[in-house]
Amino acid sequence: AVPRCKPLRHAYEKEIVLYAYFEGLDYVSTECLYAPHAYRGHARALLKELEAARASSVAALGHSGRRLAVGTRVATKALGAC
């Protein structure tokens, strides 16, 4: 298996959008119709609260997440169309 390359993994979404704007790249952002009811909104709000309390908390979570090992048999759901 080839590992995925994520060059903008540490960049915030705002920074990526600004980069695309200044480079003249097409950037389209549409919200999934299921997004208002998605659980990720709660997780995003928690991350923003943690970041307000301690600025390095999001980077620390990313660092610890990269150190986790994923099992060989991971159950995944099929993604639906938005």
Tens digit of pLDDT at every position of the chain (82 positions): 677 777 777 777 788 888 888 999 887 777 777 777 778 788 888 888 988 999 888 888 888 878 877 666 766 777 676 6
d(CA 66, CA 18): 26
Sole residue written with tokens 């639906």: 80
Q: How many CB atoms lie within 10 A of CB 21?
A: 10
d(CA 8, CA 10): 6
> How far from chain centre, in Å, is Cα 67?
17
